[in-house]
Structure 1
């Protein structure tokens, strides 16, 4: 058994070099893990890249297990990988929302009130960003946390996408935030071309990109990690100050 690490919601270990076992870090995460065991067997065949298909290995305490998705975190994404990600997201976003709903996937409420209370007092100019959230659509099945740590690659190609714990019905642009506004230009352009990104979709993705560090502040507060909250706030201020994509 090899310790793989922990995210905000789960810890993961590798068993026998082949199986990934994940455990919730707190009771509130258990329904999320159980939902993955229901929705991922339905969703995986629709997607052009490997994804985890977990099953329940233990009910008490809860442990879910899936085959290891090969690859490493994408640190220097290429145009080829951008095209692959664009095609992956296009397929994911085409999945029927009604069928996902029957498997327990619904909208995810944003903690806007907590943003106002815990972040906004320290983030002059952030009110406009929060106001923009009210006009965003919520009509697409989205991964909800697409970033380099969840997009895996090897030998210049993508090998899989992991961590579907935040899967929900929301704005398609949330899955494009990192790719369009934090990744290298050649990767971002390839994603945009393969997906068919419009100017309006790019602007919505920028809203989500700017909102990302706000969640880090709240999580730092929740777990008592002052350093995480401070780093998150620095990101909030930086992205508000820049106001546009770093591209």
Structure 2
């Protein structure tokens, strides 16, 4: 079910007792979620988010549970950024609930503008490292996935096998990925708490600092390379070096010589995941987009 901004504004008044909504505008939200920015009579602003499906509702509930566990680490400065703080909930007629929180400060990070040195690139590295330093109970205590390194390698291999069965992945990529996934020396890492869905829209910045991180529904204990892949693939090379250097300095116990290799591999495997998403959901435009990117990557790999 898709909800209009006006319906979302009405939900916000149910979630926050005494709130009088005087303005509302739609907000773009990733996934199967409707969102709006509501202005109240006192000039306060609130984000209201409502899932459109049972799966989206479950993801939202998982995020709320994680946010409750993260809040003390934010308050103590262990996590050097803000997160959404749920302030109220409104039940939905079909089940589940909408959540309301204050808007977060900052703008989506533009990786193309990053430069080397102690500025934003380094802060991104420190922020990712801070997440990876969290105790594993942040995921385990709310029933989120906890993988061993070997479990996670096999999970990635299964995804490649599934992508291969679609017939859309060029042979040169399948051979490259399977070789990397069969090389167990690459996969000797210590699993950590990972955000699991980091990207420009989830990391909000102001100047040279990360101000907020959102989108916590995919938290798990898994490969730290997952949270670094988007940065190392898309950032300028010199900025990527600064990200990695700051990341390594912030980690207290990091013995992972193949972290960067896996992160770059994960960046490539995201294309297979995008393809599988399109196939599973029957979205031909997503499949076509993934196929085009896979062939571009295959050409680049073949060219050396």
* TM, length-normalised to structure 2: 0.71
Asked if 2 retains the 8 angstrom alpha-carbon contact of 1:97 and 1:169, the reply is: yes
Distance 1:168 1:243, change over 3 A: farther
Aligned residue for 2:19? none
**Superposition pairs of residues 27-176 of structure 1, within 5 angstroms:** 27-44=54-71, 45=74, 46-54=78-86, 57-60=89-92, 61-75=96-110, 76-79=113-116, 80-107=119-146, 112=159, 113-118=161-166, 120-128=167-175, 129-130=177-178, 132-133=180-181, 135=184, 136=187, 137=189, 139-176=191-228
* CA positional deviation for 1:56: 5.4
Gaps of 5+ in 1: none
Aligned residue for 2:268? 210
Match of 1:6 among 2, 16, 29: 29
Gaps of 5+ in 2: 1-23, 148-154, 250-255
Corresponding residue SS for 1:166: coil
- Distance across 2 between alignment mates of 1:241 and 1:167: 34
Asked if 1 retains the 8 angstrom alpha-carbon contact of 2:163 and 2:169, the reply is: no
Distance 1:100 1:58, change over 3 A: same
- Distance across 1 between alignment mates of 2:146 and 2:91: 26
Aligned residue for 2:297? 239
Asked if 1 retains the 8 angstrom alpha-carbon contact of 2:226 and 2:266, the reply is: yes
RMSD of the TM alignment (CA)? 2.6
* CA positional deviation for 1:240: 3.9
* CA positional deviation for 1:199: 4.7
- Distance across 2 between alignment mates of 1:64 and 1:107: 26
Aligned residue for 2:279? 221
Distance 1:37 1:241, change over 3 A: same
* CA positional deviation for 1:57: 1.1
Asked if 1 retains the 8 angstrom alpha-carbon contact of 2:199 and 2:230, the reply is: yes
Asked if 1 retains the 8 angstrom alpha-carbon contact of 2:85 and 2:102, the reply is: yes
Corresponding residue SS for 1:158: strand
Corresponding residue SS for 2:199: coil
- Distance across 2 between alignment mates of 1:14 and 1:32: 20
Q: What is the aligned length?
A: 243
Asked if 2 retains the 8 angstrom alpha-carbon contact of 1:145 and 1:166, the reply is: yes
* TM, length-normalised to structure 1: 0.85
- Distance across 2 between alignment mates of 1:154 and 1:160: 9
Distance 1:23 1:78, change over 3 A: farther
Corresponding residue SS for 1:37: helix
* CA positional deviation for 1:55: 5.3
* CA positional deviation for 1:243: 4.0
Query: Which structure has the larger Rg over C-alpha atoms?
Result: 2
